[in-house]
Chains A and B, each alone.
Chain A
Amino acid sequence: MEYHIYHMFPKLLNLYGDHGNIITLEYFARQLGLNPVLHEVDDVNDIDWDNVDFMLIGGGSDREQSLVTEQLGLIKDKIKDEMEKGLPILAVCGGYQFLGNYYQGVNGEKMPGLGILDFYTVGQTKKRMIGNAIVQTESFGELIGFVNHAGETFHDLSPLGVATSGWGNNLQTKVEGIFYKNMIGTYLHGPLLPKNPALTLFFIKCFMDKKGLKYDDSSLDLTFENDAREMMKQRILDDSVNKDDFY
């Protein structure tokens, strides 16, 4: 069965290897017997809303981000509708910030977001939140990734998890991301999906359940995934990840 993956504005929102999320999703979709079809959206009129099975909104530099805001603004009601109906969405970093009401720049100016969910982000120059992170979640266990942002996000919505190592949504709390219906907003790059198969499989299972397909992941070989997670986790926990011990 065709599995329609929508990557929003990949030419503009392509920082920090987020395309790796797509490569990984396609890989696991094939492993589970689906036929992934990738749609790289440069124009929102090209979206066939009856056949969107997954949507990725990544992050870009400030200039690119503002170019995209305009285009995504045209479909914000549609995205909200689909999200409420359970469309699996992964929104990373700038893509995550987009979903809120506004981004307040360092000089106090407010750049409107899509307003799909009720939260906001405030830019600051005190400290850039950079580094490896482990986020403990209820639904997906531990997520391992890398964050790199200056904006501080604040919300009272259901979070994705709590950062047990590294940064969360802002400088004050360890709460990380948003998990609402089947939508995940997060600052975790890495890219996120390759080292977190629980999340990849969650998105695919959403689709298979909706289509009434039997989901069975017992034959998947996750050796490299588990090794990658174990090694990174160990290095983060003993802090060797922050030591330049090759000298």
Chain B
Amino acid sequence: MSIFLSKLAIKLSRLTGRKGTNIGGKIALKFNKHILKKLVTNIDNIILVTGTNGKSTTTNIIARCLISANKKVVSNIDGANMYTGIVSTLIDHYKKNNHYDYAIFEVDEGSVSQVLNDINKCSLVITNFFRDQLDRYAEIDMIIDKVKEGIELKKDNILLYLNVDDPFCMRLRDYPFIGYGLSDKIDIFKEGTISDSRYCAICGRPLQYSKVFYGQLGYYTCECGFNRPEPKYLLSNVSNDAVKINNVIYKHHIMGSYNIYNILAAISVLKEHHIEDNVIENVLVNFKTIDGRMQLLNINNKKVVLNLVKNHAGMNLTLQEVTYLKPDNICFLLNDYTADGKDVSWIWDADFEYLLNLKTKKYYISGTRCYDMALRLKNMGIDASKIIVNPKFETLVDLVVSDNAFVIASYTALWNAKKILEAKEVK
């Protein structure tokens, strides 16, 4: 009964033009607080993906490869990643006696323990931990502790996939895990100026680094013995359109150099599940993002890239891409709703200074915190006459796409921007 009503609610929500990604879950939970337990009984393998950045892309790659390998898959690739969103996805796909080989879900860090509590056995992929929405989670230590609590509940029935380059991830090394990481020969990242803390979680001493990729990711050691372990999956080489992992070369067409970590995490999982290399490569080569993650649009013969950014670490990586692509116009859409984080101070921690070396024609800025963003650019030395601000993106979009452009959107600004830009692409 509760599942039926919830399905109806999702349909009604869509009819009124909403995404309907949470409403079903909210209703179902009113009837049964642990309805997830019931919904996952006919799923053979559950894979969860969490971490600060890269959840969606990693989830997406894994899901598409599994589908290509003829597995029956359910996934929340439309991005509702809290507990209610996952419940909604399952209800939306629910049919009596329906069976799935795989469920693959990206899960918000804050929802991991709640989700783990209601499922029996799973794999949990962790991408990285960066400062993200500190107003919601207070401090990064608390986020990791919360994820750890959830893992502890399932410690005999869980397999972790951990980014060994991230000392925060490796706080979870006492649980069964498969490691993935980069070779220290990889040299494609710029080091940001404001780093996350590089302190040993065990003894509190500063970690020693022989190699830094970005943020706190790298080759680290500590006097107390807390070291980066050798990963089972090592990405040893990278070119514009290929990566080499455990001596296998995979071609791909995924924009954004930071995506090599997401490709690596996904391939680690896929290889453990015996998915064949040609299936994986075929998905990677034909990968076209349509979810606002380095999404490429062609609007009246101008190239427009749309990318989601949620925190300073993601912003730094995205700004690096901007410096490679050198767009004519750069557009920032910054909101401060709950899902964005109400505190937008992180824009001052990101290295917008990279932009000072570009010959950008105009900066366009929208969103509920557009003027904060304008101040960020002006105060670092961008000429105020190049900065065009209006809270409504609709009023600026034609100017933005009159040239090649890069559009950077916060979480809640993304959906609207995607809708508006995709409509322009069709015309």
Contact = CB atoms under 8 A, between A and B. Distances in A.
Interface in A51-72: 61-64, 67
A151 B339 CA distance: 25
Interface in B140-160: 140-141
Interface in B342-381: 342-343, 345-349, 368, 370-372, 374-376, 378-381
B379 A148 contact: no
B371 A227 contact: yes
A244 B336 contact: no
A146 B343 contact: yes
A225 B336 contact: no
Given A11-B195, A16-B343, A17-B347, A148 B134 contact: yes
Sorting the interface of chain B by its residue count into under 10, 10 to 19, 20 to 34 or 35 or more gives 35 or more
Interface string B405-421: 00000001001100000
A149 to B, nearest CB: 10
A223 to B, nearest CB: 8
B175 interface: no
Interface in B178-220: 194-195, 197, 199, 204
B224 to A, nearest CB: 15
A128 interface: yes
B349 A221 contact: no
Interface string A212-234: 00000000010111011001100
A195 interface: yes
Interface string B321-338: 000000000000001111
A235 B199 CA distance: 39
Contact of A244 (B338, B347, B348, B380): B338
Sorting the interface of chain A by its residue count into under 10, 10 to 19, 20 to 34 or 35 or more gives 35 or more
A180 to B, nearest CB: 25
Contact of A61 (B197, B337, B412): B197
A122 interface: no
A102 B244 CA distance: 54
Contacts of A241: 336, 342, 368
Given A24-B379, A63-B197, A224-B371, A19 B339 contact: no
Interface in B378-423: 378-381, 384, 387, 389, 391, 412, 415-416
B337 A244 contact: yes
Contacts of A61: 139-141, 197
B19 to A, nearest CB: 8
A124 interface: no
Contact of A224 (B336, B380, B389): B389
A246 B134 CA distance: 21
B232 interface: no
Contacts of B5: none
A227 B204 CA distance: 44
A231 B371 contact: yes
A20 to B, nearest CB: 3
A231 B389 CA distance: 12
A227 B391 CA distance: 11
B425 interface: no
Given A224-B378, A231-B391, A19 B348 contact: yes
Contacts of A154: none
A87 B204 CA distance: 34
Contact of A23 (B139, B346, B379): B379
B384 A235 contact: no
Contacts, number: 111
Contact of A221 (B339, B342, B384): B384
Nearest to B377: A224
B69 interface: no
Interface in B111-161: 134-135, 138-141
B288 interface: no
A61 B168 CA distance: 15
Contacts of A24: 375, 379
B94 to A, nearest CB: 24
A194 B342 contact: no
A224 B382 CA distance: 13
Most B CB contacts (10 A, CB to CB) among A15, A17, A191, A195 go to A17
B297 to A, nearest CB: 21
A62 B342 CA distance: 22
A130 B136 CA distance: 9
A14 interface: yes
B139 A195 contact: no
B18 interface: yes
A132 interface: yes
A48 B134 CA distance: 35
Interface string A148-170: 10100000000000000000000
8 closest A-B pairs by CB:
A20-B348, A17-B345, A228-B371, A17-B348, A27-B379, A194-B375, A16-B345, A244-B337
Given A27-B378, A244-B337, 19 more contacts: A17-B346, A18-B348, A19-B194, A19-B348, A20-B345, A20-B347, A23-B348, A23-B379, A27-B381, A63-B141, A130-B135, A130-B342, A189-B343, A191-B345, A194-B372, A194-B375, A194-B376, A224-B374, A246-B335
9 contacts: A17-B348, A23-B348, A128-B138, A131-B342, A194-B375, A228-B372, A241-B336, A241-B342, A246-B335
